[in-house]
Each structure stands twice: as structure tokens, then as C-alpha cells.
Amino acid sequence: MDAAVAAPRSGVQDSAFLRACRREPVPHTPVWFMRQAGRSLPEYRKVREGTAMLESCMRPDLVTEITLQPVRRHGVDAAIYFSDIVVPLKAIGVDLDIKPGVGPVVERPIRTWADLERLRPLEPADVWYVTEAMGQLTGELGATPLIGFAGAPFTLASYLVEGGPSRNHEHTKALMYGAPELWAALLDRLADITSAFLRVQIEAGAAAVQLFDSWVGALAPADYERSVLPASAKVFESVAEYGVPRIHFGVGTGELLPLLGRAGADVVGADWRVPLDEAARRVGPGKAIQGNLDPAVLFAPRSAVERQADRVLESAAALEGHVFNLGHGVLPDTDPEALTRLVSHVHERTAR
Ligand code: CP3
């Protein structure tokens, strides 16, 4: 026998989720949901009672429990680590908070060279609680893979420059167009912080990582290519050596998919606006695709949810690898039972 042939994989490495990310045959199409932890679950609200969001992210026992809740309840094929994209920024001392129902708010926005100095490099000890919680989690999850994540440089920059959530990203774009050198320096610093944060997670046991560039769809392709892609590509390159699948996700990215395909991820997420076969064509060969049921569909009756899920599966039939997900995160008022039923439906429909 050829000594170079790897031993059969078992456990996490042989999971349907990781197999699909690697574009290998799967026993069924794997399913997980962005924002599955927290949001719609009553058991989440119960354990979170009286604890602020950012404080919750720094308590390993709470993080472990919240991360496990959707795995227990829905039987999803992967867990996503409970945290938030702004946690590494908080960890290096940025004066930000997460306001309930609003999102991340930054006291003093970052808009000048002097402001940039407030973004120091992230050290693993700054996020000791992530290492601790991931250690607990990988023990508890058995063969279910744990997905680590971080915010992409553009989406983090948007919160930092705007000072909070933004519809039009006007201050962010003003900086990008008006002070390109400062913008490039800001994105480069954020790329390093994000890379360090992902490395901590992979070393603590994350079996895959997702880069959330939620608001990048606000950009035209030429601006994305020139002003953002280099920073996201740096993040993917910085974790390449670990060999864990890297997922790249944004909303409203139909026109950006060919460029996302070039940024370096192994799996590219698509929102519901582009059918998955077309998304795969735009992304190019050699990538798995993740998505893309419209999260609002879950508010329709069961038969309609199943019909729309089947449409997603049909559009994914010829893909090299497909990870079933929503086209964006679970909406807060979603009925958890609808999510559980959807997981079973996708598993049954795709059982091989
Ligand atoms: O996916 C998961 O379930 C893991 C946990 C997770 C959270 N935020 C927990 C959270 C993840 C992956 C995120 C990512 C995140 N955070 C993104 C990218 C994903 C996306 O949806 O596009 C963004 C843009 C943020 C920033 C953020 N944090 C917003 C806009 C909000 C407020 C809106 C809201 O959902 O209420 C948060 C707060 C937040 N992050 C909550 C949770 C569970 C709600 C806080 C609470 O329960 O008090």
C-alpha cells in the first residue's frame, strides 16, 4: 500500500460539513445557520438574562452553553462559536459597546491617523476566554465541527468609522475615497487583528473559520478590488497554513462574487439574490458554495419553506460542494421549530 495514502478520517474530520467544504462526497448535505446561536432560542434568552452581550462573550461557561444550544435543539451539522465580530476590537481596548436591538456602537469613531494608534495588535492573552471556551467546546461537541469566525476588515472598519450601524456607510466611503493611504493603513491593521483572532481560534480547536464581510455589498466591484480585497486576502493567506476550510460571506455580493472567489477562501457564501448554480459560476471552479435560503422564508408555512428549500437544493445539485445555510443570519423572531424542521428536511431530501 502507498504510504502516502492518508489513514481514513474519523470524527470531526469525516463530518458531512468538513467533507462538503473540501468538496468530497457527503452522506447528506450539511446544514448550519448563521446566527443560530442566540437570537430566536428561548433557552438563549434565559441564560443571557441580566448579562450584557459583550460580557456574555467573555464568560467561557456561558459561551459554551449558548454555542451548544442550537446543536442540541436542531441537530445542525456544525456549531458556530458564540461571540461577536467586535469582540477582538473590545479586547484591544476600543471604547465600544453592543446596544440591544441596535448593534455595535463606538464612542469615539476612527477617522484620523491619530485615531489609528488606538488599534494595537491583538495578543492571544487578550482573548483568553476564547481559548478557554473553545477548549471546553471541542470536548463537548464530539464529532460536530466548531466554526470560528471574525469580522472582515471592511465590515469592522464600517463600525469603527461610522461609530455604529449605518445604512449608507457615508463616513466609511468618504475615508476610502478621500484618504486612500489612511484607509489602506486602517484595513491593514484590521487584517492583522482579524488574522490574529482567527489563529487563536484555530489553535484552540476551530475546525473551520468564517470571515463575515456583511456590509461589503455596499461597494462597486472596482472599489472592492482596489480598496478592500487586499486586506481580506491577507487574512485568508495568514491562516492558510492550518489547512482548515476558510469561508467567506457577505450580503448583496452578487456583483462581487468573482472577486470573492479570488480573495482566497475555500468556501464562498451567497445570499438569496443569486441562485447557487449561478453563484458557483461567478465564483469560479475549486470552491464549495454555502447558502442561500432567504431567512424571511422561515416565516411562511411549512410547505412553502420546504418548497423554497428544495429550490435551493436543486440549484446546488451540480455544485462541487454545498453547505446549506440561510442567505443571511436567522432573524430574531424566527420560530425555532421551523429551523429544526428545515434541518430534518434537508437531511432527508439529500440522504445518499
Ligand atoms: O452566528 C452565531 O449565532 C454566533 C454569534 C454571532 C453574533 N454576532 C452574536 C450576536 C455572530 C456570528 C455575529 C456576527 C455579527 N455581529 C455580524 C456578522 C453577521 C451578520 O449577521 O451579518 C455583524 C454585522 C455583527 C454586529 C452586530 N452584533 C449587530 C448588527 C448586532 C445587533 C443586531 C442584533 O442582532 O440584535 C449585534 C449583537 C449580537 N451579536 C447579538 C447576538 C446574539 C444580539 C445581542 C443580544 O442578544 O443582546
Mean pLDDT of 311-330: 98
Which is the catalytic residue, given 19, 23, 39, 246?
A: 39
Question: 268 in ligand 1 pocket by Cβ < 6 Å?
Answer: no
Ligand 1 binding pocket mutation candidate from 76, 85, 158, 334 (most atoms within 8 A of CB)? 85
Which is the catalytic residue, given 44, 81, 129, 159?
A: 159
Residue 5 has pLDDT above 60, yes or no: no
Atom of ligand 1 nearest to the CA of 214: 22
Contacts of 152 (CB under 8 A, 6+ apart): 194, 211, 212, 213, 216, 231, 232, 235, 248, 250
Residue 4 has pLDDT above 50, yes or no: no
Q: pLDDT tens for residues 68-97? A: 999 999 999 999 999 999 999 999 999 999
Query: What's the pLDDT score for residue 3?
Result: 44
Residue 40 pLDDT class (50, 70, 90 cuts):
confident
Residue 293 pLDDT class (50, 70, 90 cuts):
very high
What single string gives the DSSP state of each residue in 216-266? GGGS-HHHHHHHTHHHHHHHHHHTGGG---EEEE-SS-GGGHHHHHHTT-S
User: Which of 336-341's residues contact partners 24+ apart within 8 Å by CB, and which partners?
Assistant: 336/40, 336/41, 336/42, 336/73, 336/74, 338/298, 338/299, 338/302, 338/305, 339/33, 339/36, 339/40, 339/70, 339/74, 339/298, 340/73, 340/74, 340/75, 341/302, 341/305
Query: What's the pLDDT score for residue 38?
Result: 84
The average confidence (pLDDT) of the chain is 96
Q: Is 48 a catalytic residue?
A: yes
Residue 348 has pLDDT above 60, yes or no: yes
Fold of the CATH domain 16-350: TIM Barrel (3.20.20)
Give this prediction's pTM: 0.96
Q: Is 266 a catalytic residue?
A: no
Residue closest by Cα to atom 8 of ligand 1: 84
Q: Is the CB of residue 285 less than 8 Å from the CB of residue 306?
A: no
Spatial distance between the Cα atoms of 309 and 326, rounded to a whole number of angstroms: 10
Residue 7 has pLDDT above 90, yes or no: no
Atom of ligand 1 nearest to the CA of 100: 48
Q: Is 84 a catalytic residue?
A: yes
Q: pLDDT tens for residues 174-232? A: 999 999 999 999 999 999 999 999 999 999 999 999 999 999 999 999 999 999 999 99
Question: 150 in ligand 1 pocket by Cβ < 6 Å?
Answer: no
Residue 319 has pLDDT above 70, yes or no: yes
Q: Is 39 a catalytic residue?
A: yes
Ligand 1 centroid to residue 351 C-alpha, Å: 32
What single string gives the DSSP state of each residue in 264-319? T-SEEE--TTS-HHHHHHHH-SS-EEEEEE-GGGGGS-HHHHHHHHHHHHHHTTT-
Question: 101 in ligand 1 pocket by Cβ < 6 Å?
Answer: yes
State the DSSP code for 166: -
Residue 63: exposure state from Cβ atoms within 10 A (0-12, 13-18, ≥19): buried
Question: 42 in ligand 1 pocket by Cβ < 6 Å?
Answer: no
Q: Is 35 a catalytic residue?
A: yes
Query: What's the pLDDT score for residue 9?
Result: 66
Ligand 1 centroid to residue 102 C-alpha, Å: 10
| CA dist list (Å): 119 to 114, 227, 302 | 10, 19, 47
Residue 298 has pLDDT above 70, yes or no: yes
